[in-house]
Amino acid sequence: MRELAPRRLKLPPNSRGVLLRFENDKITYAPIFKKGIFIFGKYYTPKHFEGEVKLCTIRGNGEWALLKKGNDWKAFKVLNEVSDGDKIYLKIKKVHHFPRHLTSLLQPKLRLKVLDYSILVKVEFLDKEVLYNFKKLLEVNEFACEKGRDSWRRLVDNGLVLGNCIGSTFKPTISLMGEEAILMRGYLSSLLNALSLPPDTFENWYDDDLKEVILEGIDANLPVELRDYQRDAVERALTYLAFQGAITVQAPTGSGKTEIALAISKIIKENLNRKIMYLAMSRSLVNQTAERALRYGFKAISMRSYDYPMDDDFLAITAQSLVRTLKKGVPDWLKEFNEEKGLVIIDEAHHVPASTMLYILERLDKTLRLALSATPWREDGLEGSFYGHVGRPEVRIEALDLLRRGYIANFKVIRYKLHIPYELLEGLFEKELLFSLYKSLKNDVGGVILRGKRIEVGSKEGHAVIWLYRGRPVIKVYGSESFEIKIKDMVMRKYKGLKYLALESTLSKLERRTKAIAKIALGQPRPCLVITKRVVDAKNIAKALGAPLVTGESDEEERERVFEGLRRGEIGIAVATSIVDEGIDIPNLKSVVLSLGGKSHIKTVQRVGRALRGGKEIAIIAEIVDVIDGHSGLKEIFLRHSRERLKALKRVFGDVEILEKDVFV
């Protein structure tokens, strides 16, 4: 459709929207009223205005319908004609980005100013009504965090106000100076969401060159056929990249995040001739992506050294390697990459607040940022930094939708409750806990109280004694003139914090438990991967199974040998630590056994995702839940963790089928 010179339409105040027709550089239009549509002397009644609708309109091509709800305009493209007697209906489809020549007719305007430090931007309000509405949204005080304040909640929901890591107070991520707002550019979409405005409200975008590519029609010679949801994600992500220079794509394991990123890279390379940088925390992810980029026609490399040949247009590198490069001084090729707004792809983007990632992004401040993650949230309250640098997850691929359509496998969870008598671990657990506590106290107060002293289990005399009885602490200190209550409280806090870790360590060394887990693993569909976060646990289970083991100590060649064996079916079962949480692709994996799974939502989704690649009817997630019988204080610990893991799965996958089996050790 030919671009037209922008002008404003004057519509009746009671109109619901407008129907537009573009023909020979002329625009003809008619208002849509609440009770019907008046078009060129004819009157029809629409069925409804929500979703995909049949809407009475004029014949011909180049037709759009714009509907208004409050201050929010929605654009719809006319698809095809449907006849119903003497009436004509057309099916219309909602579009994700607004063509300039449509929204320029209707929208109030904002102007984007990019500051020298391009992570921050200024927004100048050219429309007084929009400025007034924005000021109303920011009229909050210390009482504004109370529930029920719609203006405050609206900002919170759209990310402009975030809870800090304590969660009891809030920190604004946007400020107003005169008629200008200052914010991190990753929050530009949040600003528009809060004001119910589309991206074309801005006279200029962060990357107007990319905007022109989108408006002229995306053209790329892709070597693979993308699925429909992948094509949609590519189009939407490109729009956000042009608009604010940053976007997070939320997509579950098995949805093809890498294909989406490579398709976007190919489009930017072919249309704008810009270079691409792929960043990840793990070497395996970097190697896999570099290999797949070759299929897209990139001269891809996996870089470890400082030198970088400029004839390569796709760079895959670990964040750690790039930080080492930057600390030697920013090389000329990186300065050029930044100034030209090259594309940075950040895989497993929930790592963005990590010091290495922030170090990179703050030095590549002008680049476009495409973040990928199945779990784009944080469990430490650092979403503000995350979204400000790489954008909120405005582009989402829902796992539930992919499950229904068969793109990822369905799964069921079998919860194996391992009943372990406390008598089996009582003495060992107390020693583990005391040893951990002693090491911690030596670092903090050892110079005051515990210097050169001994800690003994059950001893009632001595210079410094911490006496535990069946997991309940009774602290007695001898040989010291004073024992400040604050130090005693600190010891108690350390005891409570170390109790779970000491219990995990004790269980990892329990031979009867290890044999029970091995028996459970042998009963799962093959290939099967056993995942545990403790190296001792992994080594003992692997030994009991006679299975290969992958830990952080394994070299890259050994890891790939095991994973390739699982892919080919040559290895039926393997054991690994949390090193496999990210970047491991074993499509034919049929089951996962989780030992000492913890309660992290992010890690739970990642581990379950290992078994959800398509091509299988159902995957099995065997969850080991240790139940400590005979001790009320310890019995429910791992059950509580299991419930947290279930919350994580329901958050992403909806209802989850769970079976329970009791196993007595």
What's the maximum distance between 2 C-alpha atoms anywhere in the chain? 102
* Pair of tokens at residue 465: 């004694």
Q: Is the pLDDT of residue 661 over 50?
A: yes
| pLDDT above 70 (res 474) | no
Which of 64-68, 219-223, 375-379, 625-629 is predicted least confidently?
Answer: 64-68
Q: Residue 363's closest CA among 392, 320, 334? A: 334
Tokens (6 digits) for 613 = 């690649």
Instruction: Encode pLDDT of 425-439 as tens digits.
Output: 877 776 776 667 666
Q: State residue 88 phi and psi, 5-degree precision.
A: -115, 125
Res. 339 pLDDT band, cuts 50 70 90: very high
| Mean pLDDT along residues 98-107 | 48
Q: Is the pLDDT at 150 greater than 60, yes or no?
A: no
Whether residues 249 and 279 share a domain: the answer is yes
Q: Which of 592, 498, 247, 196 has the alpha carbon at shortest distance from 393?
A: 247
Q: Which of 203, 200, 202 is nearest to 214 (CA)?
A: 200
Tell me the helices (H) and strands (E) count for the chain, helix number first: 21, 30
Q: Taking each helix axis as running N to C, give the angle between helix 228-244 and helix 257-272, from 0 to 180 degrees, rounded to the nearest 10.
A: 50
| Domain termination site, one of 147, 179, 201 | 201
Separation CA 570–CA 205 (nearest Å): 53
For residue 127, name the pLDDT band (cuts at 50, 70, 90): confident
Q: Has residue 342 been placed in a domain?
A: yes
Region 472-484: mean pLDDT is: 41
Residues 373 and 498 in one domain: no
State the average pLDDT over residues 270-284: 90
Mean pLDDT of 16-36: 54
How would you class 329 by CB atoms within 10 Å of its CB: exposed for 0-12, middle for 13-18, buried for 19 or more?
A: exposed
Which residues have C-beta within 8 Å of that of residue 112, sequence separation ≥ 6? Answer: 121, 122, 123, 124, 188, 202, 203, 204, 205, 206
Structure token pair of residue 376: 């784009």
Same domain as 328, residue 188: no
CATH number of the domain to which 264 belongs: 3.40.50.300
Nearest to 571 by CA among 594, 596, 590: 590
Higher pLDDT, 212 or 99: 212
- Work out the end-to-end distance of the chain between its first and last CA atoms, rounded to an integer number of angstroms: 71
Which tokens belong to 133? 């509405």
Q: Which one has a higher pLDDT value, 179 or 19?
A: 179
Q: Which pLDDT score is estimated for 249? A: 96
Domain membership of residue 253 (yes or no) is: yes
| Residue 6 forms part of a structural domain | no
Question: What pLDDT sits at residue 12?
Answer: 54
Peptide bond connecting 421 to the previous residue in cis, omega within 30 degrees of 0: no
pLDDT > 90 in the chain, percent: 27
Residue 374's nearest CA partner among 247, 244, 248 is 248
Section 15-37 average pLDDT: 53
Asked whether the predicted pLDDT for residue 621 surpasses 60, the reply is: yes
Task: Quote the distance between the C-alpha of residue 184 and its chain's center.
Answer: 18
Paired strand residues for 177? 180
Report yes or no on 177 lying in a domain: yes
In a domain, 435, yes or no: yes
Range with top average pLDDT, 302-311, 366-375, 498-507? 366-375
Instruction: Between 80 and 464, name the one with better pLDDT.
Output: 80
Where would I find the beta strands (DSSP E) of 358-478? Answer: 368-373, 395-396, 410-421, 465-469, 472-476
Which ranges constitute the DSSP H helices of 276-344?
A: 283-295, 319-327, 332-339
Q: Which residue has the tokens 């204080």?
A: 633
Distance (Å, whole) CA 346 – CA 357? 9
Of the residues 508, 529, 554, the one at which a domain ends: 508
Inform me whether the pLDDT recorded for 380 exceeds 80.
no
- The percentage of the chain sitting over the pLDDT mark of 70, rounded to a whole number, equals 64
pLDDT in tens, 161-189: 654 433 444 556 777 888 888 888 888 88
Same domain, 594 and 636: yes
Would the CA dihedral through 340, 346, 350, 353 be positive or negative?
negative
**Position 38 confidence tier, pLDDT thresholds 50, 70, 90:** very low
How far apart are the C-alpha atoms of 104 and 108, rounded to whole Å? Answer: 8
pLDDT band at 492 (very low <50, low <70, confident <90, very high): low
| More confident of the two residues 74 and 84 | 74
Number of structural domains (the chain) is 5
Task: Using pLDDT thresholds of 50, 70 and 90, give the confidence band for residue 522.
Answer: very high
Same domain for 195 and 276, yes or no, is no
575 forms beta bridges with 530, 549
Residue 602 has pLDDT above 90, yes or no: no
pLDDT score, position 163? 45
Using the predicted structure, report yes or no on whether residue 532 has a pLDDT greater than 60.
yes
Whole-number Å distance between alpha carbons of 618 and 32 = 50
**Residue 227 and residue 294 share a domain:** yes
Alpha-carbon distance of 234 to 243, in angstroms, equals 14
pLDDT above 80 for 87: no
Domain span at residue 592 reads 410-420+511-664
Residue that the structure tokens 């109790």 belong to: 499
Looking at the structure, do residues 62 and 73 belong to the same domain, yes or no?
Answer: yes
What pLDDT score was predicted for residue 463? 35
pLDDT band at 81 (very low <50, low <70, confident <90, very high): low
With contact defined as beta carbons under 8 Å apart, do 67 and 55 qualify?
no
Q: What is the pLDDT of residue 652?
A: 86
pLDDT of residue 420 exceeding 90: yes
Q: Does a structural domain hold residue 2? A: no
Q: Is the separation of the CB atoms in 344 and 365 below 8 Å?
A: no
Amino acid present at 123: V
Query: What average pLDDT does this structure show over 339-361?
Result: 86
Cβ(65)–Cβ(73) below 8 Å: no
The pLDDT value recorded for residue 109 is 63
- More confident of the two residues 237 and 311: 237
pLDDT at 267 over 80: yes
Closest CA to 407 of 157, 603, 612, 115: 612
pLDDT, position 535: 94
Residue 228, pLDDT score: 92
pLDDT higher than threshold 80 for residue 197: no
Residue 373, in any domain of the structure: yes
Q: Same domain for 261 and 350?
A: yes
Residues 379, 233 within the same domain? yes
Cα-based distances in Å from 142 to 80, 152, 163, 176: 53, 11, 14, 18
Q: Which two tokens stand for residue 154?
A: 């609206």
Neighbours of 462 (CB within 10 A): 15
Residue 208's CB: how many other CB atoms inside 10 A?
12
**pLDDT score recorded for residue 663:** 94
| DSSP 8-state class, residue 450 | I
Same domain, 255 and 388: yes
Residue 140, φ and ψ in degrees, nearest 5: -125, 155
Q: Mean pLDDT over residues 19-25, rounded?
A: 55
Q: For residue 69, which amino acid is it?
A: K
The reply to whether 645 and 531 lie within a common domain is: yes
Query: How high is the pLDDT of residue 443?
Result: 47
Average pLDDT, the chain: 74
Environment class of 597 (CB within 10 Å of its CB; exposed 0-12, middle 13-18, buried 19+) = buried
The answer to whether residue 9 is domain-embedded is: no
Q: Bridge-partner residues for 550, per DSSP?
A: 576
Q: CA 43: distance to chain centroid? A: 48
- Judged by DSSP in three states, 184 sits in strand
Mark out the alpha helices in 454-531 (DSSP H runs).
485-508, 511-522
pLDDT of residue 609: 86
Regarding pTM above 0.85, the answer is no
CB 204 within 8 A of CB 112: yes
3-state secondary structure of 112: strand
What is the Cβ-side half-sphere exposure of residue 357, based on CA atoms within 13 angstroms? 22
Where does a domain end: 508, 537, 563?
A: 508
Shared domain check, 176 and 61: no
